Amino acid sequence: MQWDRHFQLIVECASNSTAASAAAKYFVNERTVDRVFDQFREYCQKYLERIQFYDGEDKEIDEFVGARVKYHRGEPTKGTTKWFFSIRGRQSRIFRCFYILGRSIEEVQPLINKHCKIGDTVYSDGLATYKHLSSTFVHKSVNHSEHFADPEDPTNNINGLEGSHGALRKKTSVHGSIQINKKQLYFDFYCLQRQFGHDPIQFLDYVWPSYLYLIQLIFNNILSQFLLFSQYVLIKNYSLKYS
């Protein structure tokens, strides 16, 4: 594939276009587009690991159903539910989600320990799994069967995180039925995108310098790096001019 076409597909991926629409737009095989999209998402997934929550910021935690597998599609039981654990920083607005095998303490505790420090304020719902958190963190919970925010303390809620779940589902739903083994990849790509308000140009501004090194491995020459960067500048200036 030519360098200019490769970059145009990256722009389409950053714009949350589907592989089918990008393939039709640039007259490229859809499987080729899928490969380029997944390659860029995998890079962004690794890049996401560099972004850290603020020290001492308040965290909201919850879990949500990311998928339900039907008809024994690679699963031992019919209708298997796929759970994801999510965490959101109130000050940084960083949002992350992780695939878990269930909502047990054995599954969520390592993730909580990794992203929350001792003494942090952690907000959750009334799930029994979280009851032990008060021994390590300043834990505040709200019983969703009664209300979504504590009437005595309006800050005691996880509404921001619940809203992130809805936005995640809406944003990824345009891609139709995502293969279960790619769910985490798509979710991580969304988590990185939302840091920039889903502006594809701002998003590429942030990740592009590092991505150039990956491009060099693909095209294996410095000239292609220069041409890719030139193409990026042209498309960026065009987008800013006509946006």
Enumerate domains of the chain plus CATH numbers.
3-50+199-242 (no CATH), 59-191 (3.30.420.10)
Lowest mean pLDDT among 97-111, 183-197, 217-231: 217-231
Q: Which helix (H) or strand (E) holds 235?
A: helix 222-242
pLDDT score, position 242: 39
Reported confidence tier of residue 102, pLDDT bands at 50, 70, 90: confident
pTM score, whole prediction = 0.79
pLDDT score, position 190: 92
Whose tokens are 């360098």? That residue is 3
Residue 96 in this model has a pLDDT that exceeds 90: yes
Whose tokens are 């008809």? That residue is 71
Mean per-residue pLDDT for 6-31? 89
